[in-house]
């Protein structure tokens, strides 16, 4: 144990006073590993091999087995790095490639790091790379890892500044972090959030596999994934399980195989109408009455390269401008490169306004497609006496009859008439199969219909917020009836447990549920203690994202309002304890005046004393000697101040260099013929060295005799 402690406390090897030895290079390499670990979930794994190759080269170079890396080798390494990144990402212009280039240069910099100046540059690049890691993720684990990396890099800077013992450098690093914490907290709470000062290419990734076009079987694939899409917290009433239909896309174009979304620009070009007829930008929907709002929800959205925004039913109003589409869906003004908060009022029901695309657009079908389904639709229409409502009821009832079944592993459909193949051959499918068939049959009867893709349900947490994941993806149908859109969900007929309990409640094909999430704790949600730990972690992570990462102008105003409320409440309690408001005001005013006066007097005294000491070097050093005496390093009888400081310097550890420089400065001030400016500069240096001695001197027991060692 003693040998290990002596090894940890051994001084850093700085050969020739400035050139770096193996200990400092090892310190820099460990810092690089910590920074690289923050990025590895998003960066190519071969960067680890690059870091090991650079470290191995420097190790062999220190052992004199390899020459120092020359300009040709370093340029070749940079060229190979750029080529590898281009092959990996296909471009150097997106965010991931730029981050990879920064990390690669950071790792290669160790090849030419020879002295303290180079080492400081390596540490500074590491600090920048640590900050860049928050472009990937801003969660709790990322913050904890970044704090560890920053602490290690700061400790490296302290070492480079002259620290000689591991324990001392870590103590100074911890002190720096503690001193900076109050300022960081104050700036975080009070400083307004600024927008980005420059534009960077967004990372092209989606938070969910839900797409704006689907074919039968697509959404069934999402039941294999536990990836989070968004989280929701309601202010006021919460929807029942059967009301949690989160609209994302309306799919109105059918080519016989796939349902796809027609964008406002496409509709404008096809129907020769202005784009403004299909989309409006603002904080309120122009197509819906605001008094129809039933739910107010705060959404915490995952980053996504697409600008979609979910809404519970029809979106009505938001706190910030959004794009409201006439089909009852919502879009952001831009994609989300990081998690974002959105407060939304919605109706919880399908839109009541007619779609500007017109009823004809919502009755279009490919000619001669799915003949068996068309024959079935004509028969049901005749049996319903040409009554649209009776026809829809008969259609939905047919889906609930045997042999139709709801399964998470539907058979693959590859024929030309896929609705026919589903309804008359396989008769087993997921929500998208039944929604597609229902919309086609409604259009065959001349009823305007469209498919809606979004999410159904969501896991409710004990603290009240909901988490919606990929496996909650769902598709249903909307038909135009009696002056409004009406929701039809065949899944509620054939598999009501899917609507009430989620995809995990479906027995048929249950082996496919979460099949792509082998290590997800959701697979062990039946184990009580595991599920409690999972819910606790997700609750903590949600509060972190909402209250720390999502701390914006509104949050700051709310915090200031709470602080003001607490102050008023405390004032009211004090007012109730004293006989009159005037007496309370007088007492508080006197107390505040006394505290302010005492504080100003203390500041003036400290400033006057500091100025006096800076002008009198002998008094400054005598104060230092008295302080050293209290720490067991007193001067001997008849010993001059300079001799005293030089004698104790070898015993002072990290403060030894500063003590020697204090002695040199004191002698030059006392005996050298200095100009006025040079004398002032020398006094300033002496004051800085005295402060450095106080900061770096290791703690020791005070000597009993008072004369020191």
Quick: pLDDT tens for 651-689. Answer: 888 788 888 888 888 888 887 887 877 877 888 888 888
> Residue 450: which of 324, 348, 315, 360 has the closest Cα?
360
Strands 259-260 and 253-254: antiparallel
pLDDT band (50, 70, 90) for residue 610: low
Mean pLDDT of 597-613: 71
pLDDT at position 425 over 50: yes
Helix 581-615 crosses helix 676-696 at what angle (to 10 degrees)? 120
Summarised one tens digit per residue, pLDDT across range 208-241 is 678 888 887 777 788 888 889 999 999 988 998 8
**What pLDDT does 630 receive?**
85
**What pLDDT does 293 receive?**
83
Annotated active-site positions, please? Answer: 431, 474, 489
Position with higher pLDDT, 401 vs 31 = 31
pLDDT at position 192 over 70: no
> Tokens 């027609």 — which residue?
262
pLDDT band (50, 70, 90) for residue 451: very high
Helix 656-671 crosses helix 617-630 at what angle (to 10 degrees)? 150
Position with higher pLDDT, 2 vs 280 = 280
pLDDT band (50, 70, 90) for residue 292: confident
Region of poorest pLDDT, from 95-99, 312-316, 492-496, 585-589: 585-589
User: What SS3 state is found at 486?
Assistant: strand
Q: What is the reported pTM?
A: 0.72
> Tokens 């720390």 — which residue?
548
Helix 656-671 crosses helix 676-696 at what angle (to 10 degrees)? 150
| Percent of the chain scoring above 90 in pLDDT | 37
Alpha carbon distance 368, 363 (integer Å): 14
Summarised one tens digit per residue, pLDDT across range 512-549 is 888 777 778 888 888 888 889 988 988 998 888 887 87
**What pLDDT does 129 receive?**
95
Position with higher pLDDT, 95 vs 382 = 382
Strands 466-469 and 228-234: antiparallel
- Give the mean pLDDT of the chain: 84
pLDDT at position 560 over 90: no
Position with higher pLDDT, 516 vs 44 = 44
The three state secondary structure string of 598-657 is HHHHHHHHHHHHHHHHHHCHHHHHHHHHHHHHHCCCCCCCCCCHHHHHHHHHHHCHHHHH
**What pLDDT does 576 receive?**
67
**What pLDDT does 3 receive?**
46
Mean pLDDT of 192-216: 62
Region of poorest pLDDT, from 6-20, 63-77, 193-207, 609-623: 6-20
Position with higher pLDDT, 346 vs 9 = 346
For Cα atoms 305, 306, 309, give the angle at the middle one, nearest 5 degrees.
125
pLDDT at position 606 over 90: no
pLDDT at position 8 over 60: no
pLDDT band (50, 70, 90) for residue 331: very high
pLDDT band (50, 70, 90) for residue 282: very high
pLDDT band (50, 70, 90) for residue 100: very high
* Residues in Cβ contact with 101 at an 8 Å cutoff, skipping those fewer than 6 apart: 81, 82, 85, 92
Mean pLDDT of 2-24: 51
Contact 296, 343 (CB under 8 A): yes
Alpha carbon distance 102, 87 (integer Å): 16
pLDDT band (50, 70, 90) for residue 204: low
**What pLDDT does 593 receive?**
78
Region of poorest pLDDT, from 195-199, 369-373, 446-450, 600-604: 195-199
pLDDT at position 10 over 70: no
As a residue count, the chain comes to 709
**What pLDDT does 709 receive?**
39
**What pLDDT does 315 receive?**
94
**What pLDDT does 18 receive?**
58
pLDDT band (50, 70, 90) for residue 377: very high
Mean pLDDT of 460-471: 91
**What pLDDT does 9 receive?**
40
> Residue 298: which of 339, 329, 241 has the closest Cα?
339
For Cα atoms 112, 116, 118, give the angle at the middle one, nearest 5 degrees.
35
**What pLDDT does 641 receive?**
86
Name, of 66-70, 170-174, 195-199, the range with top average pLDDT: 170-174
Q: How far is CA 424 from CA 34, 371, 419, in A?
A: 59, 11, 8
């Amino acid at each position: 144990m003693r040998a290990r402690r002596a090894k940890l406390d051994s001084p850093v090897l700085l050969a020739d006073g400035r050139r770096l030895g193996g200990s400092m290079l090892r310190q820099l390499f460990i810092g690089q590993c910590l920074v690289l670990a923050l990025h590895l979930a998003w960066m190519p794994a071969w960067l680890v091999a690059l870091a090991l190759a650079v470290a191995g080269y420097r190790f062999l170079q220190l052992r004199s087995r390899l020459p120092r890396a020359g300009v040709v080798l370093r340029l070749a390494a940079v060229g190979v790095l750029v080529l590898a990144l281009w092959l990996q990402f296909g471009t150097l212009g997106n965010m991931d490639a730029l981050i990879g280039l920064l990390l690669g240069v950071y790792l290669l910099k160790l090849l030419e790091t020879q002295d303290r100046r180079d080492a400081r540059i390596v540490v500074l690049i590491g600090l920048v790379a640590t900050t860049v890691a928050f472009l990937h993720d801003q969660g709790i684990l990322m913050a904890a890892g970044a704090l560890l990396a920053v602490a290690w890099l700061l400790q490296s800077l302290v070492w480079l500044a002259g620290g000689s013992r591991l324990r001392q450098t870590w103590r100074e690093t911890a002190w720096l972090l503690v001193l900076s914490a109050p300022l960081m907290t104050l700036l975080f709470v009070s400083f307004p959030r600024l927008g980005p000062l420059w534009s960077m290419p967004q990372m092209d990734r989606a938070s969910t596999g839900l797409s704006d076009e689907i074919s039968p079987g697509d959404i069934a694939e999402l039941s294999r994934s536990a990836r989070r899409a968004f989280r929701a917290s309601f202010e006021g009433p919460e929807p029942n399980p059967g009301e949690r239909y989160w609209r994302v896309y309306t799919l109105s174009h059918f080519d016989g195989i796939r349902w796809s979304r027609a964008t406002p620009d496409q509709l404008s070009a096809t129907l020769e109408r202005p784009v403004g007829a299909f989309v409006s930008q603002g904080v309120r929907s122009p197509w819906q009455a605001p008094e129809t709002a039933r739910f107010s929800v705060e959404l915490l959205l995952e980053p996504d390269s697409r600008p979609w925004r979910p809404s519970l039913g029809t979106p009505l109003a938001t706190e910030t401008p959004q794009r409201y589409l006439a089909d009852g869906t919502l879009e952001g003004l831009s994609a989300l490169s990081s998690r974002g908060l959105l407060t939304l009022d919605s109706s919880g029901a399908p839109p009541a306004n007619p779609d500007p695309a017109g009823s004809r657009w919502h009755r279009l079908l490919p000619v001669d497609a799915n003949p068996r389904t068309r024959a079935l639709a004509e028969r049901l229409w005749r049996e319903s006496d040409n009554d649209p409502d009776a026809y829809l009821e008969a259609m939905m009832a047919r889906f609930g009859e045997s042999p139709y079944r709801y399964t998470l592993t539907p058979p693959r459909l590859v024929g030309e008439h896929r609705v026919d193949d589903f309804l008359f051959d396989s008769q087993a499918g997921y929500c998208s199969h039944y929604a597609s068939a229902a919309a086609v049959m409604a259009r065959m009867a001349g009823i305007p219909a469209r498919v809606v893709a979004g999410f159904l349900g969501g896991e409710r947490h004990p603290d009240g917020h909901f988490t919606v994941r990929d496996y909650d993806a769902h598709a249903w149908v909307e038909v135009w009836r009696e002056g409004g859109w009406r929701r039809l969900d065949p899944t509620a007929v054939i598999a009501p447990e899917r609507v009430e309990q989620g995809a995990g409640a479906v027995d048929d094909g249950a082996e496919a549920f979460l099949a792509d999430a082998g290590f997800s704790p959701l697979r062990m949600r039946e184990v009580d203690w595991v599920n409690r730990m999972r819910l606790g972690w997700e609750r903590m992570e949600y509060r972190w994202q909402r209250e720390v990462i999502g701390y914006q102008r509104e949050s700051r105003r709310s915090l200031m309002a709470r602080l003001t409320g607490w102050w008023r409440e405390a004032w009211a309690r004090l007012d109730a304890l004293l006989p009159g408001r005037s007496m309370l005001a007088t007492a508080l005013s006197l107390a505040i005046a006394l505290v302010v006066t005492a504080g100003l007097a203390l500041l003036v005294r400290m400033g006057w004393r500091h100025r006096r000491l800076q002008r009198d070097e002998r008094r400054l050093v005598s104060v230092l000697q008295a302080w050293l005496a209290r720490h067991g390093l007193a001067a001997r009888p008849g010993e001059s101040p300079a001799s005293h400081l030089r004698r104790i310097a070898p015993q002072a550890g990290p403060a030894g260099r500063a003590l020697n420089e204090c002695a040199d400065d004191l002698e030059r001030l006392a005996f050298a013929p200095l100009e006025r400016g040079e004398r002032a500069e020398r006094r300033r240096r002496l004051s800085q060295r005295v402060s450095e001695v106080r900061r770096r001197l290791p703690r020791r027991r005070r000597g009993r005799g008072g004369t020191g060692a």
